[in-house]
Structure 1
Amino acid sequence: MGRTAEEAPSLHGHAEPDKPSLAWEQAEAYLEALRGRGRTPETIKTYRRNLLMLFRALPEDGRLDHTALARWRDAMLEQGYTPRTINVRLAAANGFLGYLGLRGYQLPVQLKPAKDDIQPELTRNEYLRLLSAARALGKERTYFMVKTFAVLGLTLHDLPNLTVKAVEAGTLMATANRSHQIIRIPNSLQAELRDYLQREGIQSGSVFRTRNGKTVNRTSVTGCIQQLARDARVAPEKCNPRCLRKLCQSTRESVQQNISLLVEQALDRLLEQEQITAGWEVSGYDK
């Protein structure tokens, strides 16, 4: 059942009738509606995370057009997300737009995963074995390729953006959903890269380059990483930038979920303490 005009949140300023602007307040109202329908807290968190990613894919003013979800889908495919993950995110976006009465902007067609499209999962222990193998074999450049994809979550397309200047600044610019995203280089990786650049005598340009100074091509990057498979005792199909990037994403999501839980627990403790200090007497509430 769709919502009536009175039930649905109003859309914010329209630059033109067919391009509404979405606001996060509408997403919060949608999440609250889902909560009222009995959706579990974990489901609400998943919806919230997926809607946040949708908003990051939109322009800063939240402007929506009829190809916005298709562009988002294509960007996620390019970044290495599986069809199943993309379908889940699109389902959240479609539900949100249906709630707002914007069904004309939905993308109902779901991706069909190919039989061999199940992306193998690289574990952190396997990732560490790849690093150890690269060190044991003296393949320093490959070591940093592996670490860069797993720590920064870069795509192959964005690898040339890791330059000497970016290492010095501690940040680099990457593209996500056709928008620019600033990625912070953690201090430990930054220190390692600085030492590597000094040893290699690289003073400008891309960090990963061939002997004649050109940026390494995508095929060479994947090939270098896959050469570690046997010594690292890791399946070759896991030794690629896509699996390393996916490991970065899953690690970040796990950390974020843990942080969200800690925030909720800290808030509960704060409210309980305030209840004890200044709260009204509540029947059955144990002070």
Structure 2
Amino acid sequence: MKNRSISGEHLIRFRKRLEDEERSAATVEKYLRDVAQFASFLAGGVVTKASVARWKERLLEEGQSPSTVNGKLTALDRFLAFAGWADCRVRHLKLQRRLFRDSDRELTREEYGRLVAAAGAAGKERLELLLESVCATGVRVSEVRYLTVEAAQRGRAEISLKGKIRAILIPGKLCRKLLKYARKQKIASGEIFLTRGGKSLSRKQIWAEMKGLCQKAGVASSKVFPHNLRHLFARTFYRACRDVAKLADVLGHSSIETTRIYLISTGAEHARALERLRLVS
């Protein structure tokens, strides 16, 4: 056990392993951040099953949600397996499947419309089109780079992520808007959403620009982040086709159980469903 301490070299090699596995940039950064947090908790101590259990308890004492704690343990599990210390892993918390989500986190279609309008009114053409592109196709923010001039011309994008390739259709009206924007920006081929310097937009930049619309659009900041546009797409798509398997394919999910999370109703919707039961005289 005396050699089981986490060093900077460990983290460098762990990063390379994750990148070799073609994990998304966001996943790589999250895993490294969580492992670094555990290393800070150890304060130079050795990694043992007991120390991992203490960290788990500390996270709960700090008031972190069970799902957040499990997410951090997942990252640590991956690192421990990489380091050859899998015997130090501890059990995750058992979670009951959520029946409904908090309404203060769910972006409505009307609020989405206000965000798009606010971006247009502020002269933020790129952001306005980006919001529509993510919400109309359901792509992850890390997949925006696949919305290219060629994809808009074909009406479909080929997305390669996490070792999987899937094709998504791009609505005709969106294709026309993307090509019009590309011509205006003098982009003849390749990625459409670029910085002024011609680089891909980062997740952080997209997140910050979206947050900048909150006050003008009158939408709570807790609802405004890129992945919520994907959630809105999923709910809207499902209401139109009622096919969770097809939706899972469109979203690029390996498991339908993951897709089900996107379709959880709000507390208000759940309450209305209970009222319709009419079980109280």
Question: How high is the TM-score relative to the length of structure 1?
Answer: 0.49
- The structure where helix makes up a greater share of residues is 2
